[in-house]
Amino acid sequence: MIRINTGLKPSDLSGKLEKFWQLSAGKIQLIEKNYDSSKGSPVFTIKGHYTTRGWTEWTQGFQYGSAILQYDATGDHSFLESGKKKTISIMAPHISHIGVHDHGFNNVSTYGNLLRLMHEKKIPFNDWEKNFYELALKVSGAIQASRWTKIKDGGFIHSFNGAHSLFVDTIRSCRALLLSHSLGHVLQGEGDEKINLSDRAIQHLQSTAEYAVFYGEGRDVYDTWGRTAHESIFNVKDGNFRCPNSQQGYSGFTTWTRGLAWAMCGFAEELEYFDSKENETPEGASYKNILPILLKAAKATCDFYIKNTPANGVPYWDTGAPGLYKLGDYLNKPADPYNDYEPVDSSAAAIAAQGLLRLGHYLRQKGETKDGDNYWQAGLTVMNTLLDEPYLSSDPNHEGLLLHSIYHRPNGWDYIPDGRKFQMANPACGAIIIYVK
């Protein structure tokens, strides 16, 4: 269980954050200099250098989005120009990509952040440039929404595995639909049917909350408050749910911690969005129905993470990993990234930290101070761990920013360093999510 530092303040991390952004600048420049983009998206490091692994091209938006966020944090225009240039010249295929569930990762991280910076007056206003970013986001959200499976009680954006497959991490692509909707766009289907993108996002969120998250309500014998399944399988002929499953976790009845972290972050993020829109739009009144669903799921997943993560806030890659018993009382001591039995996943911690901080901030604003403080301080505790060694990469020749992560353990895709017994990687997701807005 995380040993929450209740006295930690954001200002206490200022020195570590200054070092973080200095290191981040060097890592971005190294990748820009060394990585061959013709090979695809950078996924994880081998001996300090990023390589690719074909599954889907889901990390390229992180690569160029990190440069945009580096500018946002430091004001260094060279990163803005680099991120903008690469977004315009390379990211276009991601806008119209019909075969993935990753539009939120790729397009919101690039076109979305550039549009946000313009609205925040951090970059000069240009009408044509604004329209360009908006058009990219409109199309991206509609394309993502077209990847749709109907079920008995709604529907969901199906994963690249096929129409039967709901991935828990696809929750992070709901923001692509909602951005497109907020810009006044719709998806048009057969016979010019106009499909509301907000409705589809809400249905996906409801499906994820119902089928990918467990609440200790007797669903099965492994039903525990806040546990998540990476994948939920449906019969596409009759729309019935069949079983939980996992691609990157140990099993459908254990919890892959990066999938859990995506749920924590996604539910909290969408909770903020719908709450902010409740009184702003004519359809805002209908958002009241989704808010309690999102809040329940956000609290459950964050509670599970706190309870099932070692004391320093960094989890092992799966809460049911078969070798964990060999580590003894592992939940009551800091995670050991150098153990010989099961790898930790600091990228999951980086994503989870954002979810904890978002939920804590939201509850504080709603007057739920006790719970809000608990989640907020848990998020700061995790951040404090990640911003220091052995997780923060201080080697100027290493392209990874966050060390001791895992990408795909079941498939054995990760690099195994000399003298180690299992795979270790530094996924691109870990390098950027720690400071995604």
- Residue 281: per-residue pLDDT: 64
Q: What is the DSSP code (8-state) at residue 94?
A: H
- What does the pLDDT read at residue 426? 57
Nearest to 390 by CA among 329, 352, 351, 346: 346
Q: Are 137 and 180 in contact (CB under 8 A)?
A: yes
| pLDDT tens column, 85-95 | 999 999 999 99
Asked if the model's pLDDT at residue 429 lies above 60, the reply is: no
pLDDT at 428 over 60: no
- Whether the predicted pLDDT of 144 surpasses 70: yes
Write down the pLDDT at residue 422: 57
Return the minimum-mean-pLDDT range out of 230-239, 330-339, 402-411: 402-411
279 pLDDT tier (thresholds 50, 70, 90): low
pLDDT band for 43, please (50, 70, 90 cuts): confident
Euclidean distance between CA atoms 408 and 259, whole angstroms: 12
Amino acid (one-letter) located at 264: M
pLDDT at site 317:
97
Task: State percent of the chain over pLDDT 70.
Answer: 94
Q: Which residue has the higher pLDDT, 313 or 430?
A: 313
Q: Is the pLDDT of residue 417 over 70?
A: yes
Is pLDDT at 408 greater than 90 in this prediction?
no
Residue 277 confidence (pLDDT): 86
pLDDT value of residue 16 = 97
98-101 own/partner pairs: CB under 8 Å, 24+ apart? 98/143, 98/146, 98/147, 99/56, 99/160, 100/56, 100/57, 100/58, 100/147, 100/160, 101/144, 101/147, 101/157, 101/158, 101/159, 101/160, 101/167, 101/169, 101/170, 101/173
Tell whether the model's pLDDT for residue 14 goes beyond 90.
Answer: yes
Q: Is the pLDDT of residue 349 over 50?
A: yes
Q: Is the pLDDT of residue 64 over 80?
A: yes
Domains of the chain from N-terminus onward: 10-433 (1.50.10.10)
Judged by average pLDDT, the poorest of 71-80, 257-266, 404-413 is 404-413
The first and second tokens of residue 390, run together, are 């052995």
Question: In which band, very low, low, confident or very high, does the pLDDT at 54 lie, cut at 50, 70 and 90?
Answer: low
**How much is the pLDDT for 51?**
81
Q: What confidence category does residue 432 fall into, taking pLDDT thresholds of 50, 70 and 90?
A: very low
Q: What is the mean pLDDT of residues 310-325?
A: 98
Tokens of 123: 């970059």
Taking only Cα atoms into account, the Rg of the chain, rounded to an integer number of angstroms, comes to 20
Q: Which of 37-46, 142-151, 233-242 has the lowest mean pLDDT?
A: 37-46
pLDDT band at 168 (very low <50, low <70, confident <90, very high): very high
| Distance from C-alpha of 390 to C-alpha of 404, rounded to nearest angstrom | 8
Structure tokens at 313: 């806030």
The answer on pLDDT for 260 being more than 80 is yes
State the pLDDT confidence band at 434, using cuts at 50, 70 and 90. very low
Cα separation, 225 vs 112, whole angstroms:
34
Supply the mean pLDDT for the chain: 92
Confidence of residue 52 (pLDDT cuts 50, 70, 90): confident
Residue with tokens 């960094």: 314
**Cα–Cα distance measured from residue 345 to residue 155, given in angstroms and rounded to the nearest whole number:** 31
